[in-house]
A and B are shown apart, each in its own frame.
Chain A
Amino acid sequence: SAVISQKPSRDICQRGTSLTIQCQVDSQVTMMFWYRQQPGQSLTLIATANQGSEATYESGFVIDKFPISRPNLTFSTLTVSNMSPEDSSIYLCSAGHSNTGELFFGEGSRLTVL
């Protein structure tokens, strides 16, 4: 199993600013992903965080808006840039091993943009 810690757990931000969310895993994992969950909705995959290289983004998400870093096997960051109220969501980090297919999730970071 893996325990995933996210910081901050919640934040209130002003329009036009940027926020970086950190994700720390308690063990080395092969896979790390970032998801968004808008109010009352299911989870949407934003991107795969690749260690030491550029993230792989899903359709509708771009690097300029959601830059992602993954410097090692246990840590990743997601930045939400130039925020607008439409970015108000819960952002979740997940991680796991490709040989098991099982993913573990953090508790999420609840972002409110005013």
Chain B
Amino acid sequence: DAKTTQPPSMDCAEGRAANLPCNHSTISGNEYVYWYRQIHSQGPQYIIHGLKNNETNEMASLIITEDRKSSTLILPHATLRDTAVYYCIVKGGGADGLTFGKGTHLIIQP
């Protein structure tokens, strides 16, 4: 699976959009980009994933660049409950487990 690079931490004001970047320059054609988050003392929570098209669900939007070498997770209206560690993971299809990096610690400021 391709490696990912994320900033270790970010701040965002409550009510603003939080944009979390991820670099995955070695991604291969059949690998998906997944985003998970882990709120303190809880198990990780799936947010969204995509292959090459932008994706949106009730939690977030995922923007993948045309060359697929980077992506951005957007939380449109961040709340204090969105404070968590966000993990960007690249993974091919199949029944393998996810490989977690260090993620980005997103802190939403009141």
Contact = CB atoms under 8 A, between A and B. Distances in A.
A43 B101 CA distance: 8
Contacts of A87: none
Interface residues of A, number: 21
B42 to A, nearest CB: 6
A42 B100 contact: yes
Interface stretch (A13-21, A65-73, A77-85, A101-109): A101-109
A102 B45 CA distance: 10
A41 B4 CA distance: 17
Q: Which of B32, B98, B100 has the most CB of A within 10 A?
A: B98
Given A92-B43, A108-B43, A103 B98 contact: yes
A102 B44 CA distance: 11
Interface in B37-58: 42-46, 49
Contacts of A31: 95, 97
A68 B102 CA distance: 26
A45 B100 CA distance: 8
B97 A101 contact: no
B97 A94 contact: yes
Contacts of A108: 42-43
B29 interface: no
7 contacts: A42-B103, A92-B43, A98-B94, A101-B32, A102-B46, A102-B49, A105-B43
Interface of B: 32, 34, 42-46, 49, 85, 87, 91, 93-103
Given A33-B98, A45-B97, A107-B43, 18 more contacts: A31-B95, A31-B97, A35-B100, A42-B85, A42-B100, A42-B103, A45-B99, A48-B96, A48-B97, A92-B43, A98-B94, A101-B32, A101-B49, A103-B97, A105-B43, A105-B44, A105-B45, A107-B42
